[in-house]
Structure 1
């Protein structure tokens, strides 16, 4: 075994410690703000101000506003600080501080027909209205009705007699649809969704104007995809919680909850930007929550640091208009509709040298984060449940040059997790670093794309896309460099369960020059090519080497010099540790070890006689991706699962961990048909994802999920799901521990139902999976690197929050030079909690080795987990750990 010496690890860890450090404490005046205060007060802790705005009127460079626990319904517009003397707006630490972009609605009166209404002026453009009922998103009235999750929407399907601006649908009721918004997901291969306005309607028919009638890819008509729904009409109000705003009468209508509106709270969005830094520089915002509003910096902003933001329901809109010509960096044309709403949604980090870090961004119809300008940093963030309106608004949109986007977890996105928009950015995209990101569950409301997407004609010179993982997505590829883009260098990336390819460079009848991929690993759920460059008229200088994957590496052989494809390992059994769970690092004896070639700037940290093929150097610590915040790791480890269908057919394809294999029922969908999954052992989970692949039919029309500990006794269903998305999520009201799960259909359908993959998710990590030490949610006394910790001394510790545990054996991978008296303690629930196991360390000579020890008793349930070092000043460095039966 080739092993790295500990001194080398320590040096690398020091260099790779958190890329953005907290700003040093500053001198200046400190003001306190609290709900109990008065804006005429002095702003001391004993006599605080009432509003944050009053504090911002007083601050000067170097001053601080400390905000005490409470909800603040105001817009913050800070003045600029100075370089080295920023203005700081920070939570005091005595409880959540929420900047709320909504205002409460009262004065409800009966409006007839089972509706209530109130007179109100909603300040945002009507397309951006949002309403909340009891602190949850209320859906705008729509037909057909859908569930609460906008990423799992229910669609109507037009008849094949429909045309470009006309819909035939025998199920469409005769109602007042004229003037409503029609939302379309239609065409032969729809890249994105679009909206139009209904101009005439009758039973089973409607005409509309707008949308993108670019045929055949993106038009209504006799196409493969004919999905649509209607919003923006009072006629759609028929479900508790639905709302409609009459912008002419300034009147909001609501279907009240069962039992009436008494005792319920309704709020509506009033402020798009709760923190508006559009004209601010050198401001630090730390520890704030945003609700129903967002944050932005401006084109001229410099030196802004946003740290520990928790932003929820940041952007809402109901239409997808063509971007205005003034926003476009390329000549306007019809296809630019895909860039709709990119520049007016999300948390926006614009300008130069600004930072967003350690934050959670969730729930957006559009972007999660827009980074634009030069030299900005987005690092260690958890971004999820965004982009549900189905344009090219991603988890992170990157425009401009010199940005650093690293260590982010991006999941559950309508289209891409990370994206570029050439229509808005122009053809340059140089010197960006996109690395160590975990991107999954992408492409929920689109088909033609990938978790990481580049388009189009971009010059990526100096850009590095490296050390990312892409997985469990409904698009076509893991990484997609589309339509004439060039000089993109990918390396040390990982993809599995991403459809056709790991990476695709699409020449699309044009040039695709000087693109590269090296030392990347691709796993199960890829069925066409591990890496492909196709359709190029000129592929000069492209170079693909040291790839490990199940399918060939291919490149159009055109150009001067011709593309290079060599030193790749194509095998379905390359020696991965656990391919189904995405652990694509090598086991002893793998043919990839020492089998790679030297690539300048890529194979820089070689152990043994030659570089390895693939993304992980054997014997080195295993690098990880994603953020180190609570909730960043949720996927439950896939074990020896089995599945049986009520129709007697083999359903093994649903639980083999391969997104491309499929089970199909024997008859059209009927109430009561079921699948039963045996997990082999009890698991703790709170969400089940049913992936029905990328076809247009076969998705269940409705189902429930029940669980059992013994396979005999079943409780009431924990979740009910409707809709016809590629992937449908059953979210439970609370975590459950069970060995068996049963999916039962609750609606009839015209075709047999299909399932490609079943996945489980918890609120925290599964201890049976590999817990990477550098992803611990708390660290004391050591440095956090990209592939391990630094050396822990006695008393130093790592903590993992909300870990799902069921096991008897702890295994750790470590490197130690301590000869005697050193150990690692596994403690539960707190750093000084019960000791579950002790690993007595031996001197490994600074080389990486695995050690296992039995737990003092079997540990089950959900616990905070701590690893505490005991012994001398240099106990050990830690790579990863697992707890298994």
Structure 2
């Protein structure tokens, strides 16, 4: 799958990097490193070193390695600095600096049967092998074949005659699958995936061992779900680019691209940890890129700062073993399979007092980030396309106490976006702050969970989960505090399109005490409860108030004192600004205004006679969640869309913005059936998501996506999708502007196809959406807060590659100028063409100002708001550009 934003961030990181010696101690020495250098040189700008390792062999506390543009195939193991004199490893700023964990595979020879092979030693454990063809992830050979996106997997379905560790499948190719890995997503309620090893095979059947640790709900046999696939066998090689490694013969097999391997490059992973800080403290790593490898600190590390990391293809593995007993914080039992691979994948921030910030982390079979220890910080990161192997590996796994996880954007995860595994963490989860994170497109390879998930028996005393947004996920809830966990305080959170509930505290036949949810807002796509506490034998001290949502707030009435449920607004007309687009802030005359109660430790900054209900105080600046890096804002604004089905059935449910409504075709799937969507105006997008809900019946078996500007003339398909998953992504071969899109089936299926929701995503922010000022990708001079920015004369805020299509600029602001001031909208560069200007004078309260653009603007532009005047000019909340 192509990842456009990765190259954008790498470029931005390189351009913004600057010589790190400015931050080093005055006595520190600075060494330069370049691919054109020599390790026998002095390390000066004119005589640089050749490898980063040579620099690290020389540095002492306070010293700096400045790395010039290039690719470095080595593992970095820095020594420690001191608190007052850290060691710094930083990109110089003349282009991307890539630490590459792969080496080229050469010596390919014909191996017969349409295969080529190379004799090579792959140093990592064979379970962690990864192969790349022309700098793109090559898939390990598997049956049935699947597309390039591992989060959109194709599964085989076993026959109902299958038993515990035996599969019957009449579609299974007649081959020797002995020794292959069987990957299972099966059972009555498969909340995790498992792997086993094939022991014997025969026509249409195989036996395996392993997996099936809890049967039911996780087993093969005659169950509701009987999904599986096979990898790790030469018999599976039948598509160009697929590979198999014979670990006994040390031989790598591949199906070559059409025309052979001439002109192509094959690399394989050789270094799991490109930056290994296991024994390092007080080290700053700034502006580096990682490819096919990852970074970790150690349990004793402290004072490590990782800033501006750009990490791609960080973890790959093919099996899900039970965690070793030594890794467990609770007694071993079969359910611990869910914690498989959490501790050996992802970018790992272990120890105490370490920081990961301003980084993009993508493409991992397991974790995006593991934070473990005490007092670490993970902030302002963009984490996506991780956790596809189907255990509980999330976007961010939080273990320990006093961790700070804020302002991260996490999307497209196999299961949760944020998670903690009590099997590894233990039951103490104290004093953690999880706030201002935007979590979406979670639960891509599971069905029982949520974007935010914590389990089990956790004591969350002192932990605050607040000001997060959860949306567009295929799980059951937005926020899920599962199985006997207690003392969790949630407040000022937002959820929409998260399935059954906004938040769920699950007692599960045990205690669920002192849990809270206050001042949260829940929107469309929630059809059971806004907030619920259920199944508890003891719910003492739980308290739910000031909640706005479409469904009731409920709690099991047990405990002393019993749960408190009051001061909540349950309404399908709460006065939200734009519920379909997740703008759940209040409009004038909303019944939630001044209708709330004061909650100690939660209520702040009351405007009016009393606190408001919901997550946003009316009249205050609108807070936002997520990071401010390129790629963090990419969903295209939903409008008055209409849909037409080729069978003439009512397809309006596909475009109403609610994942709980469903369109179903009138007959079983056949090639040529289609849906045509009219957006009402041209939209610019690079990805279309087709959400088919959590029921596996009716998921499309394959489709194409075509576009049209007029609804009459259609070009060739811009995307082809195969596989069956809850949500399937069609990634277009280019960013495209069109008013109409057509989804056409390319395969037959036993049941009618279903669509719950269609969403669009672009390569940058949509200018017709509300652009939050504090999420600007570039802020110069201005003071950035959590809900607005303060601009003085000469200050600016910029949004990179915003899609603009409109004639009117509207901004919400507080003027702070006595006269002669303005906010200018400039295109493409800070001193670029002025598209609009808002004159300002005087002071006042929050207000919306609209002006007509000098000329209508279309297309993708860098967008800058520049303050003109002396002293303070304005406090800016948000802006939008619309027709």
TM over 0.5: yes
Q: Deviations over 1:41-65 (max 9, x none)?
A: 0000100000000000000000000
Secondary structure of 2:872's counterpart equals coil
Q: Kindly state the Cα deviation for residue 819 of structure 1 after the two structures are TM-superposed.
A: 3.0
**2: CA distance between counterparts of 1:22 and 1:319?**
44
Report if aligned partners of 1:283, 1:304 keep a CA contact under 8 Å in 2.
yes
Residue 812 of structure 2 corresponds to residue 795 of structure 1: no
Alignment correspondent of 1:864? 862
Secondary structure of 1:209's counterpart equals strand
Alignment correspondent of 1:785? 785
Q: Kindly state the Cα deviation for residue 844 of structure 1 after the two structures are TM-superposed.
A: 4.1
Q: 1:22 to 1:300 in 2, by over 3 A?
A: farther
Which residue of 842, 851, 854 maps to 2:852? 854
Alignment correspondent of 1:832? 831
Q: 1:461 to 1:23 in 2, by over 3 A?
A: farther
**1: CA distance between counterparts of 2:489 and 2:578?**
27
Q: Kindly state the Cα deviation for residue 604 of structure 1 after the two structures are TM-superposed.
A: 1.4
Report if aligned partners of 1:679, 1:740 keep a CA contact under 8 Å in 2.
yes
Question: 1:80-159, aligned counterparts within 5 Å?
Answer: 80-159=80-159
Alignment correspondent of 1:453? 453
Alignment correspondent of 2:439? 439
Question: 1:324-343, aligned counterparts within 5 Å?
Answer: 324-343=324-343
TM-score by length of 2: 0.97
**1: CA distance between counterparts of 2:203 and 2:569?**
59
Question: 1:557-706, aligned counterparts within 5 Å?
Answer: 557-706=557-706
Report if aligned partners of 1:224, 1:696 keep a CA contact under 8 Å in 2.
no
Q: Kindly state the Cα deviation for residue 337 of structure 1 after the two structures are TM-superposed.
A: 0.1
Q: Deviations over 1:19-60 (max 9, x none)?
A: xx9994432000000001000000001000000000000000
Alignment correspondent of 1:817? 816
Question: 1:215-614, aligned counterparts within 5 Å?
Answer: 215-614=215-614
**2: CA distance between counterparts of 1:612 and 1:567?**
10
Alignment correspondent of 2:746? 746
**2: CA distance between counterparts of 1:25 and 1:497?**
47
Report if aligned partners of 1:212, 1:337 keep a CA contact under 8 Å in 2.
no
Secondary structure of 1:822's counterpart equals strand
Secondary structure of 1:306's counterpart equals strand
Q: Kindly state the Cα deviation for residue 841 of structure 1 after the two structures are TM-superposed.
A: 1.6
Secondary structure of 2:873's counterpart equals coil
Report if aligned partners of 1:418, 1:453 keep a CA contact under 8 Å in 2.
yes
**2: CA distance between counterparts of 1:596 and 1:217?**
42
Report if aligned partners of 1:787, 1:879 keep a CA contact under 8 Å in 2.
yes
Q: Deviations over 1:309-365 (max 9, x none)?
A: 000000000000000000000000000000000000000000000000000000000
Q: Kindly state the Cα deviation for residue 213 of structure 1 after the two structures are TM-superposed.
A: 3.7
Question: 1:191-230, aligned counterparts within 5 Å?
Answer: 191-230=191-230
Q: Kindly state the Cα deviation for residue 842 of structure 1 after the two structures are TM-superposed.
A: 3.5
Report if aligned partners of 1:164, 1:213 keep a CA contact under 8 Å in 2.
no
Q: Deviations over 1:691-747 (max 9, x none)?
A: 000002100000000000000000000000000000000001110000000000000
Alignment correspondent of 1:883? 881
Q: Deviations over 1:444-484 (max 9, x none)?
A: 00000000001000000000000000000000000000000
Question: 1:56-67, aligned counterparts within 5 Å?
Answer: 56-67=56-67
**2: CA distance between counterparts of 1:164 and 1:647?**
41
**2: CA distance between counterparts of 1:449 and 1:79?**
41
Q: Kindly state the Cα deviation for residue 74 of structure 1 after the two structures are TM-superposed.
A: 0.2
**2: CA distance between counterparts of 1:536 and 1:397?**
26
Residue 25 of structure 2 corresponds to residue 26 of structure 1: yes
Q: Kindly state the Cα deviation for residue 837 of structure 1 after the two structures are TM-superposed.
A: 0.6
Secondary structure of 1:490's counterpart equals strand
**2: CA distance between counterparts of 1:202 and 1:577?**
61
Query: For structure 1, which segment, 154-163 or 459-468, has the greater mean C-alpha deviation from structure 2 after superposition?
Result: 154-163
Gap regions ≥5 residues in structure 1: 1-20
TM-score by length of 1: 0.97
Secondary structure of 1:843's counterpart equals strand
Q: Kindly state the Cα deviation for residue 817 of structure 1 after the two structures are TM-superposed.
A: 2.5
Larger relative contact order, structure 1 or 2 (CA cutoff 8 Å, min sep 6): 1
Secondary structure of 2:639's counterpart equals coil
Report if aligned partners of 2:24, 2:86 keep a CA contact under 8 Å in 1.
no
Alignment correspondent of 2:8? none
Segments ≥4 residues shifted beyond 3 Å: 21-25
Secondary structure of 1:653's counterpart equals helix
**2: CA distance between counterparts of 1:671 and 1:202?**
33
Q: Deviations over 1:125-176 (max 9, x none)?
A: 0000000000000000000000000000100011111111011111001101
**2: CA distance between counterparts of 1:795 and 1:581?**
33
Query: For structure 1, which segment, 832-841 or 290-299, has the greater mean C-alpha deviation from structure 2 after superposition?
Result: 832-841
Report if aligned partners of 1:165, 1:213 keep a CA contact under 8 Å in 2.
no
**2: CA distance between counterparts of 1:26 and 1:810?**
47
**1: CA distance between counterparts of 2:21 and 2:441?**
31
Alignment correspondent of 1:874? 872
Alignment correspondent of 1:11? none
**2: CA distance between counterparts of 1:449 and 1:876?**
43
Secondary structure of 2:424's counterpart equals helix
Alignment correspondent of 1:18? none
Secondary structure of 2:819's counterpart equals coil
Report if aligned partners of 2:774, 2:784 keep a CA contact under 8 Å in 1.
yes
Alignment correspondent of 2:735? 735
Secondary structure of 1:817's counterpart equals strand
**2: CA distance between counterparts of 1:594 and 1:36?**
66
Q: Deviations over 1:790-849 (max 9, x none)?
A: 2x111110000010111000000000121321111111000011111111124342x110
Aligned length: 863
Alignment correspondent of 1:189? 189
Q: Kindly state the Cα deviation for residue 217 of structure 1 after the two structures are TM-superposed.
A: 1.1
Alignment correspondent of 2:804? 805
Secondary structure of 1:252's counterpart equals strand
Report if aligned partners of 1:482, 1:506 keep a CA contact under 8 Å in 2.
yes
Q: Deviations over 1:211-258 (max 9, x none)?
A: 024121111111111110000000000000000000000000000000
Alignment correspondent of 2:724? 724
Secondary structure of 1:259's counterpart equals coil
Secondary structure of 2:53's counterpart equals helix
Secondary structure of 2:608's counterpart equals coil
**2: CA distance between counterparts of 1:816 and 1:594?**
25
Gap regions ≥5 residues in structure 2: 1-19
Report if aligned partners of 2:440, 2:451 keep a CA contact under 8 Å in 1.
yes
Alignment correspondent of 2:13? none
Report if aligned partners of 1:212, 1:334 keep a CA contact under 8 Å in 2.
no
**2: CA distance between counterparts of 1:26 and 1:803?**
40
**1: CA distance between counterparts of 2:599 and 2:794?**
42
Query: For structure 1, which segment, 210-219 or 88-97, has the greater mean C-alpha deviation from structure 2 after superposition?
Result: 210-219
Alignment correspondent of 1:759? 759
Report if aligned partners of 1:803, 1:863 keep a CA contact under 8 Å in 2.
yes
**1: CA distance between counterparts of 2:504 and 2:645?**
36
**1: CA distance between counterparts of 2:630 and 2:862?**
11
**1: CA distance between counterparts of 2:219 and 2:95?**
50
